[in-house]
A and B are shown apart, each in its own frame.
Chain A
Amino acid sequence: MKKLGLLFLAMVMLCACQKPENATVKNTESKNTDVPKQSQPTSPQLDKGVGPIKEVKLDPIDKKLAKTGKLIFEGKCMACHKLDKKFSGPPLGGIAGKKTPEYIMNFILNPEGMTKDNLSGQALLEQYLTAMPNLQLKTDDARAILEYLRTTK
C-alpha cells in the first residue's frame, strides 16, 4: 500500500504549481496567528486573556481617571453594553470584581484575538453571536474604562 504514495506523487506533480513569483505581496492582516492559543480553561481570577496587556497594577480608585473612563464608555461601549442588563453584549456593571484587569483591557484592545484565542471570549461569542468590534481605542482609553468599571456594580 506504500506504493500508493506514487499515485499521490503523480497527482502532486500534475497539480502543484511552482511557488508563484506573483504572490510576492505578503498577507499583513493575519497578525493574530502568532498569539499563543489558550487550550486549558483558566479560572476568572487568573485569566488575563490574550492581547497587549500583560500586567496591570491596581491602586485605589482614581476618581478623575474613572470620570474620563465614564465618558469614553458612554461614547464607545454603551451602544452594545449596559451596566445592568444584557444587550448586544454582556452587562458590565461590577465586571471588574469578576474578571482580571488585564482580561478587561485585552478585550477592549484586542476583541478579535479574545473571541478567537481565549476560551472565555469564545464562550461569550457563542452566547451573544455578535463579534465585538475593534473600536481602535488606545491603551490609555482602555485603562480609563477599566477604572470606570471598577466604580460600577
Chain B
Amino acid sequence: MNNKMNFVNEYITSGLTVICSLLITILCLTGCSGGGVVNKDNLSAAEKTYVPPGKYDEFYAFLSGGYSGQIDVYGLPSGRLFKVIPVFSQDPCSGYGYSEETKPLLMTSYGFLPWDDLHHLQISRSNAILDGRWLFANGNNTPRIARIDLPAFETVETIELPNCAGNHSSPYISANTEYAVGGGRFSIPVPNKDVSINSYKQNFKGILSFVKIDPKSGHMKLGFQLLVPGYDYDLARFGKGPSKDWCFFTSYNAEQAHTLLEVNASQFDKDYTIAVNWKKLAALVDSGKGETFNTKYCHNILDPNSRVASTNVISQETVLTNKDYAGCVYFLPTAKSPHGMDVDPTGEYMTAGGKLAAEVTIFSFKKMLAAIENQAYEKSIDNIPVLKYSEIIATQVAKPGLGPLHNEFDDSGNGYVTNFISSDVTKYNVQSGEVLDKIPVYYSPGHLLIPGGDTSKPWGKYLVALNKITKDRYLPTGPDMDHSAQLIDISGAKMKLLLDFPTHGEPHYGQAILASMLMPKSVKFFDLAKSTHPYVTKSEKDVKVTRKGNEVHVYMTEIRSHMNPDNIQGIKVGDKVYFHVTSLEQSWSIGHGFAILGGDIPNIRVMSGETKTVIWTPKHPGIYPFYCTDFCSALHQEMQGYVQVVGANTDKVPLSWSMGNDKTD
C-alpha cells in the first residue's frame, strides 16, 4: 500500500514537474522578464552580453560626451557605465575644474572656459596598434586638445590651438603617437580680425594644426600649423603602414559659402580631401622653414608629483604657407560634402563617407603616390595640386545606404559604414566595395566603433553604433532623451543586434581596448609620501591654520572618520579662506570630500594621498558647519566640523583650531 502510494505520489509529482517546467519554458520564451518579449534570439544575445556579478567586461569603451564636455567609460559587452571623466567641463561630482589644483586645465587665451564640446577620442598607439597609455580628446568650440592619463583615468593636460575655430577634425593621432591634429570646421581670418563676413573668399583661411607628442611623457607641444584654403575641415585620419607619413582631412564647402550652408555649400558635385605629408612638413619646420606668428594660446599641465596643474601662456608659433609646403600637400576630389575620413588596417585604402552622395569613396594610397609621381593633376587651388579623381580611386561602395558618414574596420578585410539618413550600418568588402550585409539601427547613427577598428589590429568581435536619435527605444524621459548606442555582434557573416544601452551627452566617437591591457595599470591611490603639493599635510601633527592679512590657509587632513582640525575659530568676514584638504588614506576606492555651509563652490572630492584646495569667502558672522561628502565609513556621518566666523573688524577672537578638544566654555 505504502509502495503504491509512493508510486502514485511520484507519478503525480513528476507529472507536475513536467508541467511546471513546460510552463516556465513557455513563459520565458514568450516574455516573462521585465515586460520585454524574450525569444530564442534574445536569449542568445543575453548570453553574449551578460557579465555575471563580480566578473569583468572584455573591453573598456571610452565614448565622448559631446556637449557634456566629458568622457564616459563603459564596459563591453555589458554596456555598463563605470565612470565619467571630466575633461573640458567643470564637474560637481569630483570637483574637477572647481578645485584650485584642476582649474588651470580649463584656461585658454579667452580666459577660464569651463565647457567645451568634446567630440573625438584617440587611444595612443605604437605601430598603429593601441598601446593604452593615454587617451586624447578634442574640444570643438574653443579649439583644444586634452590628454587623459589612462592609468589614473583623469585629464592631465590641455593645449589650445590658436588661429582656429570649430576644431572638429581632431585629435586624430599618427601611427606611433608622434602627432595629434586639429582642423577647423570654420575658416576664419588668420590672424583673426574684424573683416566683413562678405569678404569670406578673400580673408577666411583654414588652419591645420600638428601637435607634437613626447613619446615618453606624452606632453603636447604645438609643432606647426598649415595655412590652407578657406573650406570647412571636417574629419581627419593619419595613415598607417605604407601611408603612415600622411594625414588626410576631409573638407566641405569648397563653394566657400558664408551663409545658408545647408544649400550654398552643397552646390558642387565634389569637395576635397586634403592629403598632407606631415613627415616632410616636420622636416621643413626643423630646417627653419615657415613663418613665425605672434599669437597667444595656453598650455596647461598637471604635475604628477604635486597633482597641481599650471598654465603656460605661449606667444609664438610656426605657420607653413603654400610658399613652403609645395610637394607635401595635395587635394583629392571626394564625393559631395564628405564627412568621415578613415584608413583601413592595411594603410592602403582611405575611405570617405559621401554624406550627400550615397557612396563611400575608397582611395588607393598606391595610386595616389603614382598620381603625384606622374603629376596627374586636374588643376590647382592656391598652388595646391588637385589630383585626377579617376587616377586615385580604388573603388566605391555604391549605394551603401543614405547619408554615409563614418567607416570602421574589422580584421577580415571588411569595412562598416554608418548611414545617418537610412538609419543602418552596412558591411562591405574594402577591396571590392561589394556590399555584404546591412543591419538597421535605432536611430540615425553618427559614428561607430569597433575595438581597435581604426588601427592595424582591430578586434573584430563587436561594433557599437552611436545613434543620435532615441525616440521610443527606452522608457520616455521627457523631450530630451539620452542617446542610444547599439552593440552589434560582427563575428559572423551576418551582423546581429545584441544590446541597446543609453549614452550620456552626445557620443561623437569612441575607442575601445581590451580590458586586460589597462586593468593591471589602473592607479589605486596616490602615494602620500611622494606628494610635493605645496600645501600637503602628511601627518596630523602638521595640521595648522595660518593667516597673512585676510588670507587664511587651513591645512586639513581627512581619514576615516574625522577631519582635522574640526573646530576653527576666529575666521573673519571678508577673509579668503583656502581649505587645503589632504586625505591621509592609502587605500583603493576610499574617497573623502569637503563641503561647507554657504560655500559657493561645489564639493571637492579627495582621493587617497592627494590634496585638494577650495577657496571660501564667508560673508556673514556665524557658525558654519562643514563635512565629508563621500560616504567613507560607518562613522561618515560623524565626519564633520565647525568654523566660527566673526565680524571683519573683530579682534577679540584669535585664530585657533583644534580636534578632539572637548572642553567647554
Contact = CB atoms under 8 A, between A and B. Distances in A.
B546 interface: no
A35 interface: no
Contacts of A25: 55-58, 515-516, 519
A11 B24 CA distance: 8
Dominant SS at the A interface? loop
The interface centre, meaning the residue of A1, A21, A22, A135 with most chain B CB atoms within 10 A of its CB, is A22
A31 interface: no
A63 interface: no
Interface string A2-26: 1110110011001001101111110
A88 B55 CA distance: 34
B58 A10 contact: no
Interface stretch (B146-154, B225-233, B288-296, B558-566): B558-566
B13 A3 contact: yes
A5 B485 CA distance: 41
A-B CB proximity, top 4 nearest: A10-B21, A75-B539, A3-B14, A23-B55
Contacts of B520: 28
A27 B56 contact: yes
Contacts of B17: 3-4, 6-7, 10
B541 interface: yes
Contact of A20 (B21, B52, B516, B562): B52
Contacts of B56: 23, 25, 27
Given A3-B17, A23-B58, A74-B539, 9 more contacts: A25-B55, A25-B56, A25-B515, A79-B562, A88-B562, A129-B635, A131-B633, A133-B585, A134-B586
B587 interface: yes
A130 B557 contact: no
Contacts of A18: 47
Contacts of B587: 133-134
B584 interface: yes
Contacts of A133: 559-560, 585-587, 590
16 contacts: A4-B13, A6-B18, A14-B28, A17-B52, A20-B52, A22-B51, A23-B52, A25-B519, A28-B520, A76-B539, A78-B539, A79-B557, A79-B562, A80-B560, A133-B585, A133-B590
Given A27-B56, A133-B559, A10 B13 contact: no
Interface string B539-576: 11100000000000000010111101000000000000
B77 interface: yes
Residue of A24, A25, A78 with highest tally of chain B CB at under 10 A: A25
Contacts of A87: 660
Interface in A75-102: 75-76, 78-80, 87-88
A131 B560 contact: yes
A27 B519 CA distance: 10
Contacts of A22: 48, 51, 57-58, 77
A20 B55 contact: yes
B24 A14 contact: yes
A88 B557 CA distance: 14
B54 interface: yes
Contacts of A6: 14, 17-18, 21
Interface in B370-427: none
Contacts of B51: 20, 22-23
Given A4-B17, A20-B55, A27-B54, A79 B584 contact: yes
Contacts of A20: 47-48, 50-52, 55
Nearest to A112: B587
B447 interface: no
Nearest to A19: B52
A17 B47 contact: yes
Interface string A119-153: 00000000001110111100000000000000000
Given A14-B28, A25-B515, A27-B56, A7 B21 contact: yes
Contact of A24 (B10, B516, B564, B660): B516
Contacts of B564: 79
A10 B17 CA distance: 9
Contacts of A11: 21, 24
B37 interface: no
Contacts of B527: 136
Contacts of B13: 1, 3-4
Interface residues of A, number: 35
Contacts of A2: 10
B541 A75 contact: yes
A130 B21 contact: no
A135 B557 CA distance: 14
A99 B52 CA distance: 42
B58 A79 contact: no
B50 A74 contact: no
Interface in B502-545: 515-516, 519-520, 525, 527, 538-541
Contact of B25 (A14, A28, A131): A14
A133 B54 CA distance: 23
Interface in B41-97: 46-48, 50-52, 54-58, 77
Interface string B624-638: 000000000111000
A116 B514 CA distance: 33
A103 B507 CA distance: 53
B229 to A, nearest CB: 48
B20 interface: yes
A41 B9 CA distance: 49
B180 to A, nearest CB: 29
B589 to A, nearest CB: 10
Interface string B588-606: 1010000000000000000
A136 B47 CA distance: 40
Contacts of A78: 539-541
A96 to B, nearest CB: 22
A88 B561 contact: yes
B561 A10 contact: no
A78 B564 CA distance: 12
Nearest to A137: B586
Contacts of A74: 539, 541
Contact of B58 (A24, A27, A29): A24
B634 A130 contact: yes
B514 to A, nearest CB: 9
B634 A129 contact: yes
Contact of B586 (A3, A14, A21, A136): A136
B50 A17 contact: yes
A9 B55 CA distance: 24
A33 B458 CA distance: 37
A87 B590 CA distance: 20
A7 B22 CA distance: 9
A11 B10 CA distance: 20
B560 A88 contact: yes
Interface in B472-507: none
B50 A130 contact: no
B560 A130 contact: yes
Nearest to A30: B54
Contacts of A131: 560, 633
A20 B44 CA distance: 12
Contacts of B561: 88, 130
Nearest to B564: A79
A1 B10 CA distance: 6
A10 to B, nearest CB: 3
